[in-house]
Structure 1
Amino acid sequence: MMLSTAAISDVVAALNGPGDFYRPAHQVIYRAILDLHDRSGGETTPDPILVTGELATRGELQKAGGPTYLHTCVNAVPTAVNAEHYAEAVRDLAAFRKVVETGTRLTSQGYAAVGEAREVVQVAMAQLQALVAGTAEAAPKLSVADRWQEFIDDQEHGIDPRALDTPWPDINEVVQLLPGHLVTVGAATAGGKSLFGMNLAAHVALHRNRPVLVASMEMGGKELMARLTAAESGVYLERLVKHKLDDNDWDKIARVSDVMRNAHNFYLDDSATQTLSRLRARLRCMASRGHPPAMLVCDYLQLVTPENTKANANRAQEVGEISRGLKRLAGEFGIPVVALAQFNRGAAGRRPLVSDFKESSAIEQDSNVIILLYRELAEDGNDTGPVAGTVEAIISKNRSGPSGRVVPLAFQGHMARLSSMAWL
C-alpha cells in the first residue's frame, strides 16, 4: 500500500477492516494510510515519508514502530502486484484467530454453567452465526449492469416484491416497509405506539406468514399475549387481563387458536434490558431455527441500553448510537426495522412535530420513514370502551414516497386495536 496507490483498493476490498491485522502497529499504520489516501482523493501514494508524518501528527509514530519499521515493511515486499493475495492471507489468518477466540469463549461459558442452559446455547449459536457471517466471502453486485434486471423486474411487478404491507390500506397507499429501512413511529405516552407496533407485527407474522421479532421493554410476555389475543379474536382486553371470560369469549378464542398454536415464526422478546448486541443475537437465532427474520419491531427506542458510547457521552449521543445501530441492523439483515419512540412532554395536547422526539435529533436523520401518532381523546378523557377514539397517523417523513399525508385510524383500546376508519 505504501508502494502503489492502485494496491490500496485491492487491499480494502479483501479485508474486513483494521482488526484483521494481528499486530496493533499494523492496525495503526493501515488507518493512517487510508486517511492519507482519502484526503488526497487517491491521487497521492502514501509512501513511508508521508505515513511517518501522518503518524507523528496523530502522536502514534512510536506505537507504529517508528520510521525505521515503516521502511522495513516497504523493503520486505519487492512489488505491490501481489497486494490482494497478501491481504487475503491476512484476512484468513484473522478468521482462524476468531475461531480460536470463539471456541475458547464458548468452552469457558460451558464450564461456568451460569444462567439458563437454553439462553447460553442461543448466545453460543449467535456467536457461531456471527463467525460464519464475518468470514464468508461475499461477491456483492454493485454495478449498474448487475442491478439493471432486478430494477426492471420490480417495475414490471408494479410494487417492490421485497416490501411488506401494513394492516391499514390508507397507510399502504403512501408507505412501503422496505429492506434496510428504519421506520420510526413516534407518540406521546399512551398515544398508541405499542398498539401500532403489535398490530403491525401480528399482520406480517400471522397474516403474511413472515417471521417477525418484537422486542418489548414496555410490557411482559403475558401482557403482550393478552393484547395479541384481544386484537386477533375480538375478546375485550379487560376480560383477558382479569381472566373473566364467558362462553362467547371462549368461542372467539377457539377461532384463532390454530393460528396461535402454529405461530412459530412470531417471536416476542420481553427482556426488560435490551441492547443492540442482544437484538442481533435474537435475529440470528431466528435464522438458525429456520425463520430468517422479515421484520423487527422495537418497543421502544429510548429504552434500549447503549453499549459503545464514550464515558462522557450525553443522553442525545447515546440515543443517536441506538438509532444508528437499529439502522445498521436493518441493513445487516435486509429487513425493515420498526422503532417505536417516545415524544418529549412538550408534545402533549397538540399535534406532534418531528422535533418532539425525546432526547435526540438523530432519530429524524436516521429514519427512512417517520410516522407521528396523535391521539384524540373522547370528551370524558377515556376512550378504552367500545366507542372508538381517533388516532391520526401523520406521515411526516418518507424517503420513498410522499410525506405530509394524515391517515385517521380508529383507536379501539378495548380490543387492543388500531383499525382502518373505512372498516367501521
Structure 2
Amino acid sequence: MTEPLWEPDLLPDEQIAPHNIEAERAALGSTFYDLTAIDAIDRVIAGPEDFWEHRHQIIWQTIAGMYCRDRKPKIDPITVAAELLATGELTKIGGAAYLHELAQSVPVVGNADGYAEIIREHAQLRAVLTATRKASQRVMSAANTAAEILEAAMADLQAAAKGVQPADEKLSVADRWMGFVDELEAGHDPRALDTPWYDLNEIVELKPGQLITVGAGTGQGKSLFGMNLAAHIALTRGRPALVASLEMGGSELMARLTAAEAGVNVDKLVRRKLDPSDWEKVFRAAPKLQNAENFILDDSPNLTLGKIRARVRWMAASGRTPAIVVADYLQLLTPEPSGKKERSRANEVAELSRGLKLLAMEFEIPVVALAQFNRGAVGRQPLVSDFKDSSAIEQDSNVIVLMHRPLAEDGSDTGPRAGEIDLIVAKNRNGASGRIVALTFQGHYARLRSMGRG
C-alpha cells in the first residue's frame, strides 16, 4: 500500500516535494532477490539522501554497508532486520515486517536501475526546489547584494544538477587502452597544458584535476608567475583562463599584464607616466589585449571558494569554461562560513586547500594556487614545510613549485646570479621532483623568462 504524501510535521511546500515512494520500495526490495541490483542502484544515485523517506535512507545505508563489508554477503529481509536490530535502528524503519513488505513490492526483479533512475530524477528535482527556495529567502531577507544572491543561486543549482558517473562510462582497461596508445603516439597528454617556460615544461605538465601550488615569500614573484602563466594560456594558446586575485586590484593586474605583453616598465604604467616610445609599445600589444574576452580577472573583495566556483560556472554557462584557474593567493581567501564555533587558522587554510583541489577535480581543470611562505623561509632556499599556516597544502597538491631568488646577503639583487630566480619542483606526482629551473626575473616588466630568451 502506498503511504499518503501528507505528513503533519512538514510545511506545505515540503509535503509536495517531488518523490516516488513506489520506486524507492521497488529498488530496495530488488536487492533482496539479486545482489547485482545493489551495484546497479549505486551507479545511478548520488547517495542515501536521494531517497525521500528517511527510513529508506537507513535501509539503503545498511544494505550497502553489508554488501561492502562481506566477501559473500547474504542480504534478505531477515539478515537486514538482524543488522538493523544490532544498530538499534530496526524500530526506526517500521520493524522487520516492513522489510518483508519491500520484498513483496517489486514489480520486476531485473529493473533496479530503472527504479534508481526514477529516484535520482526526483532527488534532483527536490534539490532544484530547495535551491530556488533558498534564493527566494535570500531575496526576501535582502541580507546580501543581488550579485551575491545570484552567485549563491548558481552554485546551489549547479550542485543540484551535478549527476553521478553514467552507467555506460568506459572504465575498464580494455576501454581505456586505445586512448592511452593515442597519447603515447602523440608524445604528450592532449589534455595537459604547458607553461610559458620551455625548461619547466620538460619537468611539469599541468593536468586536469590537479592542484598546482606555487610558493614564494613576500615580493618574490608568485603573482608574476600566476599572471604570466594565465596570460600564456589565454593569449598564446587561445584558451579561457581565470585569475582570482585578492593580492591586487583590477587596475594593478592590468598594469602588470600590459607591462609583460608590451615590454613597458610596470612602474610607468602604474603611475600613468608613459613617453612616446612606451605608447608605441602599448599600441602594438593592444590588438591582443583588447580582444582577450576569454581572459577573466576577478578582483572581487572577500573572495571565497564559493565565489570562485560560481565564477567558473558563469564562464562555463557563457561558453568559455576556463582551461585553468589561478588563485592569488591561497592564504588570503576568505573561509566559508562554518557551523563550528572555533576553527584554528591551520584548519581554515586546510579547508581552502582541499576546496581548491576539489574545484580542480569537479571541473577537470588544473587549478594553480599561489601560496605564501612563513617568515622562517627568508634568506634561504625554501622547503615544502615553509608554507604559511598549514601543512595540508603539501598533502593536497599534485605539484609544488617553490620560488627562490638568490639575492646577496644584504637582500640586494647583486652578485653572480643577479636577475635570476629558481623554480624548485619540490613535488611532482607525474614526473621528476627535486629539479631546479632557473629563470630570468624581469620585475620591471612584470614577467619571468626562460634563460636565453629576453
Q: TM-score if structure 2 supplies the norm length?
A: 0.83
Alignment partners' CA distance in 2, 1:92 and 1:246: 63
1:195 CA drift (Å): 1.1
Which of 202, 205, 218 lines up with 1:176 in the alignment?
205
Matched, 1:318 2:372: no
Q: Which of the residues 28, 35, 43 maps onto 2:65?
A: 35
Which secondary structure state, in structure 2, belongs to the residue aligned with residue 422 of structure 1? coil
The answer to whether the aligner puts 1:408 opposite 2:438 as a matched pair is yes
C-alpha spacing 1:316/1:139, structure 2 compared with 1 (3 Å) = farther
1:49 and 1:321, CA in 2 relative to 1: closer, same or farther beyond 3 A?
Answer: farther
Query: May I ask how many residue pairs the two structures share in their alignment?
Result: 421
1:147 and 2:147 correspond: no
Q: Do the aligned partners of residues 365 and 275 (structure 1) sit closer, same or farther apart at CA in structure 2, a change above 3 Å counting?
A: same
Quote the Cα distance in structure 2 between the aligned partners of 1:277 and 1:96. 22
Q: Distance in 2 between matches of 1:365 and 1:79?
A: 48
Q: Percent identity?
A: 55
- Which deviates the most, 363-372 or 204-213? 363-372
2:358 to 322, 328, 343: 328
For the pair 1:93 / 2:133, whether they are aligned, the reply is no
Residue segments in structure 1 that go unaligned for 5+ positions in a row: none
Shift of residue 10 of structure 1?
A: 0.7
- Contact 1:388–1:412 (CA<8 Å) still a contact in 2? no
Equivalent in the alignment of 1:207: 236
The residue number in structure 2 matching 1:22 is: 52
Cα distance in 2, alignment partners of residues 223 and 21 from structure 1:
51
Q: Which runs of 5+ in 2 are unaligned?
A: 1-30
Measure the CA separation in 1 of the matches of 2:281 and 2:237: 21
Describe the SS at the equivalent of 1:307. Answer: coil
Q: How does 1:128-147 map to 2 (within 5 A)?
A: 128-134=157-163, 139-147=168-176
- 1:397 equivalent among 407, 427, 441: 427
Deviations 1:219-262 (A, max 9, x none): 11111111111111111111111121111211111111111111
Q: Distance in 1 between matches of 2:238 and 2:114?
A: 45
Amino acid at match of 2:359: L
> Take 1:34 and 1:380, find their aligned partners in 2: how far apart are those partners?
64
Given the superposition, is the C-alpha separation of residues 252 and 192 from structure 1 closer, same or farther in structure 2, using an over 3 Å criterion? same
Q: Which amino acid aligns with 2:350?
A: G
Mapped partners of 1:216, 1:30: distance in 2: 44
| Corresponding letter in the other structure for 2:352 | I
SS at match of 1:376: coil
Asked if the contact 2:43–2:167 (Cα under 8 Å) also holds between the matched residues in 1, the reply is no
Kindly state the Cα deviation for residue 399 of structure 1 after the two structures are TM-superposed.
Answer: 1.3
Determine the C-alpha separation between the residues in 2 that align with 1:38 and 1:135: 19
Q: 2:213 is aligned with what amino acid?
A: T
Deviation at 1:189, TM superposition (A): 2.0
Report the more deviating stretch, 372-381 or 147-156. 372-381
Give the AA of the match of 2:367: V
Matched residues in 1 for 2:349 and 2:96: separation?
42
Deviates more, 1:398-407 or 1:320-329: 320-329
3-state DSSP class of the match of 1:298?
strand
Cα offset for 1:401? 1.2
Equivalent residue number for residue 268 of structure 1: 297
How much is the aligned-residue C-alpha RMSD, in angstroms?
A: 2.9
Q: Which has the larger radius of gyration?
A: 2
